[in-house]
A and B are shown apart, each in its own frame.
Chain A
Amino acid sequence: MNETAIERNGGVQSGRPILEVDGLVMHYRTKAGDVSAVEEVTFALGRGEALGLVGESGCGKTSVAMTLIRLLPDNAIIKEGSVVLDGLNVAELTDGEMRKHRWADISMVFQGAMNAWNPVYKVGDQIMEALEQHFPDMSEAEGRVRIAELFELVGLSPAMMDRYPHEFSGGMRQRAVIAMALSCNPKVIIADEPTTALDVIVQDQILKELRKIQEELGMSIIYISHDVAVIAEVSDRIGVMYAGRLVELGATDEVFPRPRHPYTYLLLSSTPSVVGPRRRLAPLEGEPPNLLAPPTGCRFQPRCPFAAEICASQDPPSQELAPGHHVACWHWEQVPELGRLEA
């Protein structure tokens, strides 16, 4: 897979994006009404690119991911929009067709994947099953070699493949899930909070490894995290979600020093740190939005320090401020400079 990497930009190759998401709207139907979890989300993922998705708990990050890989619960409905994976409209595939592409073309490290393992089978055997499905010609011995390699990659002793999930610590289970997601060399990996249960040294190592594999194989990754610092380190571009909407999207080294959406600004300026003076941090004022009855106009307006009349009545459209830097805010000009984050 060593195409002469055309015009590389931190591992990003040009050409048609591997994944294009356009005007996606997804709701969950509940007795109390519709939960508006994904609202008009549009973005593209370049080949070999790492895109980070951040946003507060419950804003719809996992919902976007599950829509892309088509693993939605029964009460979910895709109301509008399209998801095109390498030229293929995912939304139009039958379940059977989608199954062929899942894991081999697009795979996912599930959030809380720690308990995704079946307790009665050895962890190695569970990965073997995925391998067998996609590489029917692979012998068992070859499979074991492959699993051993993957285990070493994520910092697990290969001997662990013959153990049961309950014998793994939380972080070890999470690492095994990462090995599983990598096993079939997918074109796109969605990593939903892949390192939440891991200490920083292992996290550092896994993120570097993922970066390396990604660059070598030209794989594309969507990282989902609530941890802005992790996203800053691993992503070429960052997308910020608030209450089901993508409110800001742009290159990481543009958005971080100069966020244009008030929510991004507040998110970045409230991150705790081990360096610098110890301070009591101010949580974002106000209440998280109720997605059963989202605020009118801009969804962030009830908590926004810059909110004016128009914000409550009209939803701000997404504007492209500079090439590739999109923001949905009526008052982006008022958002002050962050400069170097006072860490």
Chain B
Amino acid sequence: MTQPLVKVEGLRKLYPLHKGVFRKPTEYIHAVDDVSFEIAPGESLGLVGESGCGKTTTGRMLVRLTGASDGQILLQDDGSMIDVAHVDRDGMKRFRRRVQMIFQDPYESMNPRRTIFDTISEPLQVQGIGTVAEREERVAELLEMVGLIPAPTFMFRFPHQLSGGQRQRVAIARALVIDPSFIVADEPTSMLDVGISISIMELMLNLAEEFDVSYLYITHDLAVARYMCDRIAVMYLGKIVEIGPTEELLANPRHPYTRALLSAVPVPDPSSVRPAVEIEGGIAKAVNPPPQCRFIGRCPWVQDICRRRGHPPLEDTGNDHLVSCYVAKESV
């Protein structure tokens, strides 16, 4: 296997729950709990899972917007793996150029008082790339690529003068403007209709093919993950519970949570009846979770072994397909 572009090992994020201002916290939200994976150059890894399971927190740690409580994030640079927690100032500037994030909430990367041109060209400015005219040309090119056409009619508007999906596309253009090699895309097309989200996914896939751009692609939409990702990781309460090549994982979902996720996807046909969703949507919370399997409270398959032992390790079932479930492992 080629050297990975990104390698994450034992990543953790705990948020203390403060009961009083001066009291020491005794409870922690285990937002991300011992997560490891690798992403190859040009590869796109999908991260799916229910709301609040830790997807955004994982993504933010990878781009260094949130500090990790534990674990390592390594990024390949000229053939060697560097620990992104320990780069110096120059290294940081380089890092910012190579790694970008598209935020779940497009407002997060926008200042309401700056025009679309200013917003998109900011990374170029920070990195000191190009003249004003060159930047304008580059911004116009990107606007067209994300379907904001004719570009000049959008360039000098303000964010509030755009529709929701148009703002989301500005956030995408901004992340692409400096040709990064790794992008954390957090629900980048959640507000876009199929037509435009397909052209944007095509655009991103082309960048992967041509320039080996890699993605951590966060989405709740399995159809989108299927279209966009080479592999999919399924997260549940801070843990990766299943990971494998896209088609393999969708054809043979092993973990009961993955199965439930698949059965809940709406089908665009009012006459079709979906099978009932096996598990209940939960208010499961990752506050000081018990040592057993995180899914135990909602699992339709629970056995004795699940109650006796700790959270199951991720184990290979063949075909690069890993699952963390005592019962699923038996059935292979």
Contact = CB atoms under 8 A, between A and B. Distances in A.
Interface of A: 28, 30, 32, 54-58, 62-63, 73, 75, 111-112, 114-115, 152, 155-157, 167, 169-172, 174-175, 192-193, 196-206, 226-230, 232-233, 252-253, 256-257, 267-268, 270-275, 278, 281-284, 287-288, 290, 292, 340-341, 343
B268 A229 contact: yes
A172 B51 contact: yes
B192 A226 contact: yes
Given A201-B277, A205-B281, A272-B224, A111 B191 contact: yes
Contacts of B48: 199
A282 B104 CA distance: 25
B210 interface: no
Given A271-B194, A284-B195, A288-B147, A112 B267 contact: no
Given A169-B51, A170-B105, A200 B220 contact: yes
A97 to B, nearest CB: 26
B256 interface: no
Interface of B: 15, 48-52, 56, 104-108, 147, 149-150, 153, 157, 160-169, 186-187, 190-196, 198-199, 202, 220-224, 226-227, 247, 250, 260-262, 264-272, 277, 279-283, 285
Given A202-B281, A226-B193, A290-B153, A28 B266 contact: no
B164 A193 contact: yes
B281 A201 contact: yes
A281 B285 contact: no
A59 to B, nearest CB: 8
Nearest to A278: B226
A73 B267 contact: no
Contacts of A292: 153
Contact of A200 (B15, B161, B191, B261): B261
Given A200-B264, A341-B269, A155 B191 contact: no
A229 B269 CA distance: 7
Contact of B222 (A171, A200, A232): A200
Contact of A112 (B164, B250, B282): B164
Nearest to B228: A272
Given A114-B105, A197-B104, A204-B277, 5 more contacts: A197-B190, A253-B271, A270-B198, A274-B250, A278-B227
B270 A233 contact: yes
A156 B105 CA distance: 20
Nearest to A202: B281
18 contacts: A54-B193, A56-B196, A57-B169, A57-B196, A112-B164, A156-B283, A171-B51, A193-B164, A198-B220, A200-B264, A200-B265, A201-B261, A201-B279, A253-B270, A273-B223, A273-B267, A278-B247, A288-B149
A232 B51 contact: no
A193 B106 CA distance: 15
Contacts of B52: 169, 171-172
Most buried by A among B147, B153, B199, B266: B266
A270 to B, nearest CB: 5
Contacts of A341: 268-269
Contacts of A169: 51-52, 56
B274 to A, nearest CB: 9
A292 B148 CA distance: 13
Nearest to A340: B269
A90 to B, nearest CB: 22
Contacts of B272: 340, 343
B164 A197 contact: no
Contacts of B165: 56-58, 226
Contacts of B262: 274
Most buried by B among A73, A172, A205: A205
Contacts of B186: 170
Give me the 10 closest cross-chain CB pairs, A-B, nearest first.
Answer: A171-B51, A57-B165, A205-B281, A226-B193, A199-B220, A200-B264, A229-B268, A229-B266, A284-B195, A199-B50
B157 to A, nearest CB: 7
Most buried by B among A28, A155, A268, A343: A155
Given A111-B191, A274-B250, A284-B195, A203 B268 contact: no
Given A57-B165, A111-B191, A281-B198, A202 B51 contact: yes
A200 to B, nearest CB: 4
Contact of B161 (A28, A227, A287): A28
A272 B223 contact: yes
Contacts of B168: 57
A278 B248 CA distance: 12
Contact of B270 (A114, A167, A232): A232
Most buried by A among B56, B163, B195, B261: B195
Nearest to B144: A287
A235 B180 CA distance: 42
Given A30-B157, A283-B199, A340-B271, A272 B227 contact: yes
Nearest to A174: B51
Contacts of A32: 153
Contacts of B265: 200, 229, 274
A204 B196 CA distance: 24
A288 B163 CA distance: 13
A229 to B, nearest CB: 4
Contact of A57 (B108, B161, B193, B281): B193
B163 to A, nearest CB: 5
A253 B250 CA distance: 29
Contacts of A252: 270
A313 to B, nearest CB: 23
A112 to B, nearest CB: 5
A201 B196 CA distance: 25
B196 A283 contact: yes
Given A200-B222, A290-B153, A193 B281 contact: no
A172 B106 CA distance: 17
A167 B15 CA distance: 9
A8 to B, nearest CB: 18
A232 B279 CA distance: 23
Contact of A256 (B106, B261, B269): B269
Nearest to B196: A57
